[in-house]
Amino acid sequence: MLALTRARSRTLASENGMVYGVHFQSDKVVLFTGSTYATSSVTNEPYLIDGRAPIHSISIVGGSNVVFKRLTGETTNTGTVVIRAYSDKWLWSTTTISASGIIE
């Protein structure tokens, strides 16, 4: 997912001396600045999810946020996000976030 890659890259680059994270909801993903997600922050970058391929499940340690650590890009918010779509059959896409911060 693009938001995860951007958040990790910005954290590793220590952009503005901050850490970055991603908040997941069924209909959108939000890249945020800082260690906690605030719905009203003007720095939030929302990515709307196509209604034909919504997020089916969010299974992340600690809730629905992934925050990356400065200098290492690691996270304690490991887990998976599953997207599903229907086109003649169900199609599934799973994004996995590892402790090292690698996104697959």
Worst-scoring range by mean pLDDT, 14-18, 56-60, 85-89?
A: 85-89
Q: Which amino acid is at 42?
A: V
pLDDT at 72: 96
In the predicted structure, residue 87 carries a pLDDT above the cut 90? no
Residue 1 is predicted with a pLDDT of 78
What is the model's pTM? 0.92
Per-residue model confidence as pLDDT tens digits over 26-55: 889 999 999 999 999 999 999 998 888 889
What ranges make up the beta strands (E) of 3-103?
A: 20-24, 28-33, 45-48, 55-60, 65-67, 79-86, 90-97
